[in-house]
Structure 1
Amino acid sequence: MQKLAKKFIEVMKECSHIAKAGTNSFHGYKYATSADVMDRVNSSLAKHGIASAARPELLSLQDVTTVKGNTEHLATVKMTIELTDVDSGESCSITGLGSGQDAGDKAVMKAQTAAIKYAYMLSLAVSTGDDPEADIHTDQAGEELSVVPLKPKPIRKRVSQNNATVCVDCGTPISDKVFDFSVKRFGAALCMDCQKNHQAV
Protein backbone atom coordinates (compact mmCIF):
# COMPACT_ATOMS: atom_id res chain seq x y z
CA MET A 1 0.00 0.00 0.00
CA GLN A 2 2.90 2.35 -0.68
CA LYS A 3 1.01 4.56 -3.13
CA LEU A 4 -1.98 5.00 -0.84
CA ALA A 5 0.32 5.56 2.14
CA LYS A 6 2.14 8.37 0.35
CA LYS A 7 -1.14 10.09 -0.48
CA PHE A 8 -2.39 9.55 3.06
CA ILE A 9 0.67 11.33 4.44
CA GLU A 10 -0.14 14.36 2.28
CA VAL A 11 -3.70 14.33 3.62
CA MET A 12 -2.32 14.18 7.16
CA LYS A 13 -0.15 17.22 6.47
CA GLU A 14 -3.07 19.22 5.10
CA CYS A 15 -5.36 18.24 7.99
CA SER A 16 -2.81 18.40 10.81
CA HIS A 17 -4.66 21.18 12.62
CA ILE A 18 -8.33 22.17 12.63
CA ALA A 19 -9.35 25.24 14.61
CA LYS A 20 -12.11 24.96 17.20
CA ALA A 21 -14.87 27.09 15.68
CA GLY A 22 -17.81 25.58 17.56
CA THR A 23 -18.96 26.78 20.99
CA ASN A 24 -21.04 24.96 23.57
CA SER A 25 -22.79 27.94 25.13
CA PHE A 26 -24.20 25.97 28.07
CA HIS A 27 -20.96 24.39 29.28
CA GLY A 28 -18.77 27.20 27.95
CA TYR A 29 -16.18 25.34 25.89
CA LYS A 30 -15.05 25.42 22.27
CA TYR A 31 -14.68 22.41 19.97
CA ALA A 32 -13.85 21.46 16.39
CA THR A 33 -17.18 20.93 14.64
CA SER A 34 -17.94 17.83 12.61
CA ALA A 35 -18.69 20.06 9.63
CA ASP A 36 -15.22 21.65 9.80
CA VAL A 37 -13.50 18.26 10.13
CA MET A 38 -15.49 16.72 7.28
CA ASP A 39 -14.97 19.73 5.01
CA ARG A 40 -11.19 19.77 5.51
CA VAL A 41 -10.74 16.00 5.28
CA ASN A 42 -13.07 15.44 2.30
CA SER A 43 -11.44 18.26 0.35
CA SER A 44 -7.99 16.78 0.93
CA LEU A 45 -9.04 13.20 0.15
CA ALA A 46 -10.68 14.27 -3.11
CA LYS A 47 -7.65 16.39 -4.05
CA HIS A 48 -5.36 13.37 -3.74
CA GLY A 49 -7.71 10.91 -5.43
CA ILE A 50 -8.78 8.95 -2.37
CA ALA A 51 -12.39 7.77 -2.30
CA SER A 52 -14.15 7.09 1.00
CA ALA A 53 -17.13 4.90 1.87
CA ALA A 54 -18.51 4.88 5.42
CA ARG A 55 -20.27 1.88 6.99
CA PRO A 56 -21.95 2.45 10.37
CA GLU A 57 -22.66 -0.34 12.84
CA LEU A 58 -25.05 0.24 15.75
CA LEU A 59 -23.40 -1.25 18.84
CA SER A 60 -26.07 -0.33 21.38
CA LEU A 61 -29.30 1.62 21.76
CA GLN A 62 -30.80 2.03 25.20
CA ASP A 63 -32.99 4.35 27.21
CA VAL A 64 -31.48 6.38 30.05
CA THR A 65 -33.17 8.51 32.70
CA THR A 66 -31.92 12.03 33.37
CA VAL A 67 -31.85 13.61 36.83
CA LYS A 68 -35.07 15.41 35.90
CA GLY A 69 -36.78 12.08 35.30
CA ASN A 70 -36.92 12.39 31.52
CA THR A 71 -36.23 9.40 29.30
CA GLU A 72 -33.68 9.82 26.52
CA HIS A 73 -32.15 7.45 23.98
CA LEU A 74 -28.41 6.70 24.11
CA ALA A 75 -26.83 5.19 21.00
CA THR A 76 -23.27 3.99 20.41
CA VAL A 77 -22.07 3.52 16.84
CA LYS A 78 -18.93 2.06 15.29
CA MET A 79 -18.03 3.72 11.99
CA THR A 80 -15.78 1.92 9.51
CA ILE A 81 -14.48 4.06 6.64
CA GLU A 82 -12.99 2.36 3.60
CA LEU A 83 -10.38 4.52 1.84
CA THR A 84 -9.45 3.62 -1.73
CA ASP A 85 -6.75 5.12 -3.96
CA VAL A 86 -8.47 5.57 -7.35
CA ASP A 87 -5.12 5.40 -9.17
CA SER A 88 -3.62 2.23 -7.72
CA GLY A 89 -6.72 0.52 -6.34
CA GLU A 90 -5.02 0.14 -2.94
CA SER A 91 -7.34 0.44 0.04
CA CYS A 92 -7.41 0.47 3.82
CA SER A 93 -10.04 1.02 6.50
CA ILE A 94 -10.19 3.23 9.57
CA THR A 95 -12.69 3.10 12.45
CA GLY A 96 -14.16 5.40 15.06
CA LEU A 97 -16.60 5.10 17.95
CA GLY A 98 -19.23 7.66 18.89
CA SER A 99 -22.16 8.02 21.26
CA GLY A 100 -25.17 10.29 20.99
CA GLN A 101 -28.02 11.03 23.36
CA ASP A 102 -31.34 12.60 22.40
CA ALA A 103 -34.92 12.70 23.63
CA GLY A 104 -36.23 12.34 20.06
CA ASP A 105 -35.05 10.34 17.08
CA LYS A 106 -31.59 11.84 16.61
CA ALA A 107 -29.49 9.72 19.01
CA VAL A 108 -28.19 7.42 16.26
CA MET A 109 -27.49 10.35 13.93
CA LYS A 110 -25.52 12.13 16.65
CA ALA A 111 -23.56 8.95 17.34
CA GLN A 112 -22.77 8.48 13.65
CA THR A 113 -21.59 12.07 13.33
CA ALA A 114 -19.29 11.72 16.35
CA ALA A 115 -17.96 8.36 15.15
CA ILE A 116 -16.99 9.55 11.67
CA LYS A 117 -15.49 12.75 13.08
CA TYR A 118 -13.25 10.88 15.51
CA ALA A 119 -12.37 8.19 12.97
CA TYR A 120 -10.80 10.90 10.82
CA MET A 121 -9.31 12.91 13.69
CA LEU A 122 -7.61 9.91 15.30
CA SER A 123 -6.44 8.28 12.05
CA LEU A 124 -5.08 11.55 10.62
CA ALA A 125 -3.64 12.69 13.98
CA VAL A 126 -5.64 15.93 13.76
CA SER A 127 -4.81 18.48 16.45
CA THR A 128 -7.33 21.01 17.73
CA GLY A 129 -4.74 22.86 19.81
CA ASP A 130 -5.54 21.76 23.35
CA ASP A 131 -5.19 18.97 25.89
CA PRO A 132 -8.60 17.84 27.17
CA GLU A 133 -7.02 16.27 30.27
CA ALA A 134 -5.82 19.73 31.35
CA ASP A 135 -9.37 21.12 31.56
CA ILE A 136 -9.68 21.96 35.26
CA HIS A 137 -13.04 23.66 34.69
CA THR A 138 -14.62 20.35 33.74
CA ASP A 139 -13.26 18.74 36.92
CA GLN A 140 -14.79 21.53 38.99
CA ALA A 141 -18.10 21.40 37.14
CA GLY A 142 -18.25 17.64 37.65
CA GLU A 143 -18.34 18.19 41.40
CA GLU A 144 -21.46 20.36 41.05
CA LEU A 145 -23.48 18.50 38.40
CA SER A 146 -25.60 15.41 38.86
CA VAL A 147 -24.90 12.77 36.25
CA VAL A 148 -26.60 9.64 34.98
CA PRO A 149 -24.32 6.57 35.13
CA LEU A 150 -23.67 5.01 31.74
CA LYS A 151 -24.20 1.40 30.83
CA PRO A 152 -22.51 -1.00 30.29
CA LYS A 153 -20.29 -1.31 33.38
CA PRO A 154 -16.89 0.43 33.50
CA ILE A 155 -14.65 -0.59 30.60
CA ARG A 156 -10.90 -0.13 30.56
CA LYS A 157 -9.55 -0.59 27.04
CA ARG A 158 -5.88 -0.79 26.14
CA VAL A 159 -4.03 0.57 23.13
CA SER A 160 -1.64 -2.10 21.92
CA GLN A 161 1.24 0.25 21.13
CA ASN A 162 1.67 1.87 24.53
CA ASN A 163 -0.70 -0.05 26.81
CA ALA A 164 -2.63 3.16 27.57
CA THR A 165 -6.23 3.44 28.74
CA VAL A 166 -8.55 4.94 26.10
CA CYS A 167 -11.99 6.56 26.07
CA VAL A 168 -14.77 4.06 25.27
CA ASP A 169 -16.57 6.69 23.16
CA CYS A 170 -13.87 8.15 20.92
CA GLY A 171 -10.72 6.10 21.57
CA THR A 172 -8.65 9.04 22.87
CA PRO A 173 -5.90 7.97 25.31
CA ILE A 174 -6.62 9.05 28.90
CA SER A 175 -4.56 9.10 32.08
CA ASP A 176 -5.25 6.89 35.08
CA LYS A 177 -6.46 9.96 36.99
CA VAL A 178 -9.02 10.82 34.30
CA PHE A 179 -10.05 7.16 34.09
CA ASP A 180 -10.63 6.92 37.85
CA PHE A 181 -12.63 10.16 37.90
CA SER A 182 -14.71 9.13 34.87
CA VAL A 183 -15.57 5.68 36.20
CA LYS A 184 -16.54 7.17 39.55
CA ARG A 185 -18.77 9.87 38.05
CA PHE A 186 -20.04 8.26 34.83
CA GLY A 187 -19.55 4.52 35.20
CA ALA A 188 -17.32 4.27 32.09
CA ALA A 189 -13.88 5.27 30.85
CA LEU A 190 -14.39 8.64 29.13
CA CYS A 191 -12.04 11.44 28.07
CA MET A 192 -12.77 14.97 29.28
CA ASP A 193 -14.57 15.99 26.06
CA CYS A 194 -16.85 12.94 26.12
CA GLN A 195 -17.57 13.52 29.82
CA LYS A 196 -19.00 16.90 28.81
CA ASN A 197 -21.29 15.19 26.32
CA HIS A 198 -22.64 12.84 28.99
CA GLN A 199 -23.26 15.36 31.74
CA ALA A 200 -26.95 15.37 32.65
CA VAL A 201 -28.35 18.81 33.28
Structure 2
Amino acid sequence: MMSELAKALVAVMDKARYVRETAKNKHFGYNYASDEDILAALRPAMIANGLAMFPTDCERQTVPHSPTAKGAAQWRTDIIMTYRLLHVSGETMTVKVPGCGIDPEDKGAYKALTGAMKYALRNTFLIPTGNDRERFEEAEVVVEDEVVEDEVETDADDEVEADETPAGAAAFEALARQSGLDPTP
Protein backbone atom coordinates (compact mmCIF):
# COMPACT_ATOMS: atom_id res chain seq x y z
CA MET A 1 0.00 0.00 0.00
CA MET A 2 1.35 3.44 -0.94
CA SER A 3 1.98 5.83 1.95
CA GLU A 4 0.06 9.10 2.25
CA LEU A 5 3.31 11.04 1.85
CA ALA A 6 4.13 9.20 -1.38
CA LYS A 7 0.63 9.88 -2.75
CA ALA A 8 1.00 13.57 -1.93
CA LEU A 9 4.45 13.74 -3.59
CA VAL A 10 3.07 12.21 -6.78
CA ALA A 11 0.05 14.55 -6.73
CA VAL A 12 2.32 17.62 -6.42
CA MET A 13 4.52 16.32 -9.24
CA ASP A 14 1.40 15.95 -11.39
CA LYS A 15 0.20 19.52 -10.70
CA ALA A 16 3.49 21.42 -10.96
CA ARG A 17 5.14 20.17 -14.13
CA TYR A 18 7.49 22.84 -15.49
CA VAL A 19 9.14 26.13 -14.54
CA ARG A 20 10.52 28.29 -17.30
CA GLU A 21 13.79 30.15 -16.73
CA THR A 22 12.41 33.71 -16.76
CA ALA A 23 14.77 35.40 -14.29
CA LYS A 24 17.84 37.02 -15.84
CA ASN A 25 21.32 37.43 -14.42
CA LYS A 26 22.32 40.68 -16.10
CA HIS A 27 25.97 40.45 -15.04
CA PHE A 28 26.66 37.00 -16.50
CA GLY A 29 23.93 37.09 -19.16
CA TYR A 30 21.98 33.91 -18.51
CA ASN A 31 18.42 33.00 -17.56
CA TYR A 32 17.49 30.89 -14.56
CA ALA A 33 14.44 29.65 -12.68
CA SER A 34 14.10 31.90 -9.64
CA ASP A 35 13.17 30.69 -6.19
CA GLU A 36 9.97 32.77 -6.51
CA ASP A 37 8.99 30.92 -9.70
CA ILE A 38 9.67 27.52 -8.15
CA LEU A 39 7.70 28.43 -5.01
CA ALA A 40 4.82 29.78 -7.13
CA ALA A 41 4.72 26.49 -9.02
CA LEU A 42 4.89 24.23 -5.96
CA ARG A 43 3.31 26.00 -2.98
CA PRO A 44 -0.38 25.76 -4.03
CA ALA A 45 -0.01 22.07 -4.93
CA MET A 46 1.88 21.34 -1.70
CA ILE A 47 -0.82 23.03 0.40
CA ALA A 48 -3.62 21.28 -1.48
CA ASN A 49 -1.93 17.93 -0.81
CA GLY A 50 -1.11 18.53 2.85
CA LEU A 51 2.65 19.02 2.52
CA ALA A 52 4.99 21.44 4.25
CA MET A 53 8.77 21.71 4.06
CA PHE A 54 11.00 23.35 6.62
CA PRO A 55 14.72 23.51 7.45
CA THR A 56 15.98 21.36 10.31
CA ASP A 57 19.78 21.64 10.11
CA CYS A 58 22.51 23.56 8.33
CA GLU A 59 26.20 22.72 8.25
CA ARG A 60 28.24 25.71 7.11
CA GLN A 61 31.81 26.49 6.16
CA THR A 62 33.01 29.92 5.02
CA VAL A 63 36.42 30.29 3.39
CA PRO A 64 38.27 33.02 1.47
CA HIS A 65 37.58 33.09 -2.26
CA SER A 66 39.32 34.76 -5.19
CA PRO A 67 38.97 38.58 -5.16
CA THR A 68 36.50 40.48 -7.34
CA ALA A 69 37.64 42.08 -10.60
CA LYS A 70 38.23 45.27 -8.61
CA GLY A 71 40.37 43.44 -6.05
CA ALA A 72 37.85 43.29 -3.18
CA ALA A 73 38.02 40.25 -0.92
CA GLN A 74 35.28 37.66 -1.34
CA TRP A 75 34.06 34.78 0.80
CA ARG A 76 32.61 31.45 -0.30
CA THR A 77 30.05 29.83 1.98
CA ASP A 78 29.38 26.12 1.47
CA ILE A 79 26.42 24.55 3.23
CA ILE A 80 24.75 21.20 3.57
CA MET A 81 21.10 21.94 4.29
CA THR A 82 18.67 19.43 5.75
CA TYR A 83 14.93 19.92 5.20
CA ARG A 84 12.02 17.96 6.58
CA LEU A 85 9.08 17.32 4.27
CA LEU A 86 6.01 16.79 6.47
CA HIS A 87 2.63 15.39 5.44
CA VAL A 88 -0.56 16.05 7.44
CA SER A 89 -0.68 12.30 8.19
CA GLY A 90 2.47 12.71 10.28
CA GLU A 91 4.74 10.98 7.76
CA THR A 92 8.01 12.78 7.07
CA MET A 93 10.89 12.63 4.63
CA THR A 94 14.35 14.15 5.02
CA VAL A 95 15.93 16.00 2.10
CA LYS A 96 19.64 16.90 2.28
CA VAL A 97 21.17 19.24 -0.32
CA PRO A 98 24.34 21.29 -0.80
CA GLY A 99 24.43 25.02 -1.43
CA CYS A 100 27.17 27.54 -2.21
CA GLY A 101 27.26 31.33 -2.16
CA ILE A 102 30.05 33.79 -2.92
CA ASP A 103 29.93 37.39 -1.78
CA PRO A 104 32.37 40.18 -0.82
CA GLU A 105 30.27 41.09 2.22
CA ASP A 106 27.79 39.16 4.35
CA LYS A 107 25.40 37.68 1.75
CA GLY A 108 27.20 34.39 0.94
CA ALA A 109 25.23 32.36 3.47
CA TYR A 110 21.91 33.76 2.21
CA LYS A 111 22.83 32.97 -1.39
CA ALA A 112 23.75 29.43 -0.35
CA LEU A 113 20.48 29.03 1.59
CA THR A 114 18.39 30.27 -1.35
CA GLY A 115 20.15 27.93 -3.78
CA ALA A 116 19.80 24.96 -1.43
CA MET A 117 16.07 25.56 -0.89
CA LYS A 118 15.46 26.02 -4.61
CA TYR A 119 17.23 22.80 -5.55
CA ALA A 120 15.71 20.83 -2.65
CA LEU A 121 12.23 21.71 -3.92
CA ARG A 122 13.08 21.34 -7.58
CA ASN A 123 14.74 17.95 -7.14
CA THR A 124 12.25 16.55 -4.61
CA PHE A 125 9.38 17.19 -7.00
CA LEU A 126 11.42 16.58 -10.20
CA ILE A 127 10.52 19.95 -11.72
CA PRO A 128 12.20 20.50 -15.10
CA THR A 129 13.36 24.03 -15.92
CA GLY A 130 14.71 25.65 -19.04
CA ASN A 131 13.79 27.65 -22.07
CA ASP A 132 12.68 24.81 -24.34
CA ARG A 133 9.18 24.55 -22.95
CA GLU A 134 7.89 22.56 -25.91
CA ARG A 135 10.00 19.70 -24.64
CA PHE A 136 7.97 19.62 -21.43
CA GLU A 137 4.82 21.74 -21.44
CA GLU A 138 3.11 24.46 -23.39
CA ALA A 139 3.10 27.09 -20.63
CA GLU A 140 5.60 29.27 -18.76
CA VAL A 141 4.83 27.87 -15.30
CA VAL A 142 2.18 25.19 -15.07
CA VAL A 143 0.20 24.81 -11.85
CA GLU A 144 -2.80 22.63 -12.62
CA ASP A 145 -3.94 24.31 -15.85
CA GLU A 146 -3.17 27.90 -14.81
CA VAL A 147 -0.41 29.86 -16.56
CA VAL A 148 1.68 32.28 -14.51
CA GLU A 149 4.08 34.58 -16.35
CA ASP A 150 6.50 36.67 -14.34
CA GLU A 151 9.65 38.45 -15.49
CA VAL A 152 12.27 38.86 -12.78
CA GLU A 153 15.46 40.87 -13.20
CA THR A 154 18.34 40.54 -10.78
CA ASP A 155 21.88 41.72 -10.22
CA ALA A 156 24.87 39.41 -9.98
CA ASP A 157 24.77 40.00 -6.20
CA ASP A 158 21.52 38.02 -6.03
CA GLU A 159 22.83 34.93 -7.77
CA VAL A 160 24.55 31.87 -6.33
CA GLU A 161 27.95 31.31 -7.89
CA ALA A 162 29.78 27.99 -7.88
CA ASP A 163 33.47 27.86 -7.05
CA GLU A 164 34.83 25.60 -9.75
CA THR A 165 38.50 25.94 -8.84
CA PRO A 166 40.30 22.75 -7.69
CA ALA A 167 40.58 24.20 -4.16
CA GLY A 168 36.88 25.06 -4.11
CA ALA A 169 35.88 21.63 -5.36
CA ALA A 170 38.12 19.94 -2.79
CA ALA A 171 36.66 22.04 0.05
CA PHE A 172 33.12 21.29 -1.05
CA GLU A 173 33.82 17.56 -1.40
CA ALA A 174 35.34 17.49 2.09
CA LEU A 175 32.27 19.23 3.54
CA ALA A 176 29.93 16.86 1.68
CA ARG A 177 31.82 13.77 2.94
CA GLN A 178 31.85 15.18 6.47
CA SER A 179 28.07 15.45 6.22
CA GLY A 180 27.65 11.89 5.01
CA LEU A 181 26.94 12.80 1.35
CA ASP A 182 28.65 11.32 -1.68
CA PRO A 183 30.01 14.33 -3.62
CA THR A 184 30.80 12.35 -6.78
CA PRO A 185 28.44 12.72 -9.74
TM-score between both structures, scaled by the size of structure 2: 0.68
Determine which structure has greater relative contact order: mean sequence separation of CA pairs < 8 Å that are 6+ residues apart, divided by chain length: 2
- Percent of residue pairs bearing the same amino acid type: 26
In structure 1, what is the Cα distance between the partners aligned to 2:170 and 2:122?
27
Partner SS, residue 31 of structure 2: strand
CA contact (8 A) 1:61 1:73 kept: yes
Query: Could you give the per-residue CA deviations for residues 137-178 of structure 1, whole angstroms, max 9, x where no partner exists?
Result: xxxxxxxxxx98342528599xxxxxx953xxxxxxxxxxxx
In structure 1, what is the Cα distance between the partners aligned to 2:22 and 2:84?
28
CA contact (8 A) 2:76 2:101 kept: yes
For these two proteins, the number of residue pairs brought into alignment is 145
Task: Identify the residue that residue 66 of structure 1 maps to in structure 2.
Answer: 67
Partner SS, residue 102 of structure 2: strand
Query: Could you give the per-residue CA deviations for residues 24-59 of structure 1, whole angstroms, max 9, x where no partner exists?
Result: 122221110011112322222111111222134133
TM-score between both structures, scaled by the size of structure 1: 0.63
CA separation of 1:95 and 1:15: change in aligned 2, threshold 3 A: farther
CA separation of 1:79 and 1:148: change in aligned 2, threshold 3 A: closer
In structure 2, what is the Cα distance between the partners aligned to 1:14 and 1:165?
32
Map 1:151-170 onto structure 2 (within 5 A).
151-153=168-170, 155=173, 165-166=184-185
CA contact (8 A) 1:66 1:148 kept: no
Partner SS, residue 52 of structure 1: strand
In structure 1, what is the Cα distance between the partners aligned to 2:113 and 2:21?
20
CA separation of 1:89 and 1:101: change in aligned 2, threshold 3 A: same
Query: Could you give the per-residue CA deviations for residues 167-195 of structure 1, whole angstroms, max 9, x where no partner exists?
Result: xxxxxxxxxxxxxxxxxxxxxxxxxxxxx
Map 1:140-159 onto structure 2 (within 5 A).
149=165, 150-153=167-170, 155=173
* Aligned-pair Cα RMSD in Å: 2.8
Which segments of 5 or more consecutive residues in structure 2 lack a partner in the other structure? Answer: 133-162, 177-182
Structure 1 stretches (4+) deviating beyond 6 angstroms? Answer: none
In structure 1, what is the Cα distance between the partners aligned to 2:91 and 2:100?
31
Output the amino acid matched with 1:80: T
In structure 2, what is the Cα distance between the partners aligned to 1:122 and 1:16?
12
CA contact (8 A) 2:79 2:100 kept: yes
In structure 2, what is the Cα distance between the partners aligned to 1:148 and 1:165?
14
User: Higher strand proportion, which one?
Assistant: 2
Partner SS, residue 74 of structure 1: strand
In structure 1, what is the Cα distance between the partners aligned to 2:170 and 2:97?
20
| Aligned pair partner of 1:77 in 70, 76, 79 | 79
Which segments of 5 or more consecutive residues in structure 1 lack a partner in the other structure? Answer: 132-146, 158-163, 167-201
CA separation of 1:125 and 1:148: change in aligned 2, threshold 3 A: closer
CA separation of 1:67 and 1:49: change in aligned 2, threshold 3 A: closer
CA contact (8 A) 1:65 1:148 kept: no
Q: CA deviation at 1:106?
A: 0.7
